[in-house]
Amino acid sequence: MSVAGELRTRTLGATERSWCKAVPGGTGITVMALLLARPPDADCLQRSLRRLQINHPILNSKLRFDSPANSYSYVTSAAPYVEVRRFDLQLTSEILRNSFPGEYGSIPPFHLLLEHELNSNTWQNPDHSSDIDLFLSSLYTLEDNRWVATIRVHTSVCDRASALTLLQELLEMNGGGKGDSEMELGKEIEVNLPIEEYIPSGQGNKPFWARGVDVLGYSLNSFRLGNLSFQDTISGRMSRVVRLQIDGEGTGRILSSCQRNEIKLFELLAAAGLLATHSSKGIPEGQWEKYALVTLMDCRSVLDPPLCSNHIGFYHSAILNSHDIKGGEDLLELTKRVHSSFETAKSNKKHFTDMGDVNFLMCKAIENPGLTSMGSLRTSLISVFEDLVIDASNELHKGLGLEDFIGCSSVHGVGPSIAIFDAIRDGKLDCACVFPFPLHSREQMQELVDKMKRILLEGTTK
């Protein structure tokens, strides 16, 4: 047992370090935003968040940079530190007017506040003379008796699965009154180990020469990749979001098609995105372009030992595949190609053997943006998540007045042109599609998402 207030440190793993390089540039700011129709108890919310920090010590860690060693460590205390920043109606309105001068009033404020949080990069110019907070929260006041509660987390300590776990625990605490209970300090504050420590013996091994060949192959292949048309490659970037939503009938048809054809939803979404991109560029049908697809896979179940979903941290790995698209492909046939490529890579343990290669290339792109097309820092066209998220409203949600929820991460530094955070909510498909702006415009991405929707609905009627 540790003494309350005692500090412990752990050096970051390779994947965590790569996120520490990515986040200052604008990729890897994870945000969960909740739209509430009942007045939240801000003090109870803060106590609940502090309980989360105690239950999951990595969330109670701060980031420390050791200049002489050029290394990062998590520094963890038994005492939680999160403070909920509160914004009344006037302050919230000022934020929206100042941050979105041309869009305030035409886009729902909940959506704009999500984007505001994605671009509130407290890690952009870190002060290495002091430890850096990794877990932040805000509470905004809207008109018409609405509130928006947000949690913003550094992605190195919170992947998508972690974010969903935290949301569920937070809702249970506030719905059940557990946020008001006493917090126990002085408990063990060991931080979960990095993903590299859990890779099964032998599965991450790759001969030195093979690693060199693969890195070279990834690098050379990147020069052959097509991209979604860039709108503005000069201006400073930020993350924006468009939503792809399909009603219950359409969603049921899509899921039934996936089941019949033994494919997964993320593969279908990726295929629709590839076809929509090719179509949006006005390329003559039959003219090929090669596009890169990154699939993020939650590795917890295949680690040694296997980890459960409440093991908070970053335990995803990326599988990179490329696909040749000529336009006019059948959606389901293309989806089967995407499925085959992913399953082959997965069976060959690419999520482990190529983990270091992908991290290395991401860091090289950050350090040398000129290596990417027009310095765009785009490493793929699309990124998707393997795991299907299914959520349904319940009495707890109704009791809290939860009307809407979006969870996603920023991508305006290094990353894809469109990152798809999909979920099935109350039987309806709801995707937050995050993109770098103004590299791509909101109108351009809305058109792309509308095309994806049409392709999904028309391609699954068979």
What are the Cα distances from residue 85, in Å, to 26, 152, 164, 393, 440? 22, 12, 22, 27, 31
> Do 411 and 422 touch, CB atoms closer than 8 A?
no
Whole-prediction pTM: 0.94
Q: Is residue 163 classed exposed, middle or buried when 0-12, 13-18 and 19+ CB atoms within 10 A define those classes?
A: buried
Class of domain 208-459: alpha beta
Question: Beta strands 146-154 and 27-36: pairing type?
Answer: antiparallel
Q: How far apart are CA 79 and CA 184, in angstroms?
A: 9
Confidence at residue 312, expressed as pLDDT on a 0 to 100 scale? 97
What are the Cα distances from residue 43, in Å, to 85, 90, 119, 179? 11, 21, 26, 9
Which is nearest to 154 in space by CA: 131, 179, 184?
Answer: 131
Q: How many degrees, rounded to 5, is the angle at CA 343 between CA 337 and CA 344?
A: 90
Q: How far apart are the first and last CA of the chain?
A: 61
Radius of gyration of the chain (CA): 22
Q: How far apart are CA 179 and CA 198, in angstroms?
A: 33
Q: How far apart are CA 59 and CA 81, in angstroms?
A: 10
Return the H-helix or E-strand segment holding 217: helix 208-222
Which is nearest to 449 in space by CA: 335, 248, 280?
Answer: 280
Fold of 8-192: Chloramphenicol Acetyltransferase (3.30.559)
Confidence at residue 56, expressed as pLDDT on a 0 to 100 scale? 95
Q: How far apart are CA 196 and CA 42, in angstroms?
A: 38
Structure tokens given for 284: 């003559």
Q: How far apart are CA 88 and CA 115, in angstroms?
A: 18
Same fold yes or no, 8-192 and 208-459: yes
What are the Cα distances from residue 300, in Å, to 56, 165, 309, 317, 352? 16, 13, 7, 10, 12
Ramachandran assignment for 375, one of left (phi > 0), alpha (psi -120 to 50 degrees), beta (any other)? left
Q: How far apart are CA 81 and CA 136, in angstroms?
A: 9
pLDDT tens for the chain, residues 1 to 462: 344 456 899 999 999 999 999 999 999 999 999 999 999 999 999 999 999 999 999 999 999 988 877 889 999 988 999 999 999 999 999 999 999 998 998 999 999 999 999 999 999 987 777 899 999 999 999 999 999 999 999 999 999 999 999 999 999 888 754 444 444 544 556 789 999 999 999 987 765 555 554 555 555 566 678 999 999 999 999 999 999 999 999 999 999 999 999 999 999 999 999 999 999 998 888 889 999 999 999 999 999 999 998 999 999 999 999 999 998 999 999 999 999 999 999 999 999 999 998 998 899 999 989 888 999 999 999 999 999 999 887 777 888 899 999 999 999 999 999 999 999 999 999 999 999 999 999 999 999 999 999 999 999 986
Q: How far apart are CA 251 and CA 257, in angstroms?
A: 10
What are the Cα distances from residue 127, in Å, to 9, 12, 20, 400? 19, 18, 13, 38
Confidence at residue 216, expressed as pLDDT on a 0 to 100 scale? 53
Give backbone dihedrals phi and psi of 220, rounded to 5 degrees, phi first. Answer: -65, -40
Q: How many degrees, rounded to 5, is the angle at CA 41 between CA 39 and CA 45?
A: 125
Confidence at residue 7, expressed as pLDDT on a 0 to 100 scale? 82
Q: How far apart are CA 382 and CA 246, in angstroms?
A: 20
Confidence at residue 188, expressed as pLDDT on a 0 to 100 scale? 56
Which is nearest to 299 in space by CA: 382, 210, 203, 207?
Answer: 203
Instruction: Reduce the DSSP state of residue 424 to 3 states and report it.
Output: strand
Which residue ranges make up each domain of the chain? Answer: 8-192, 208-459
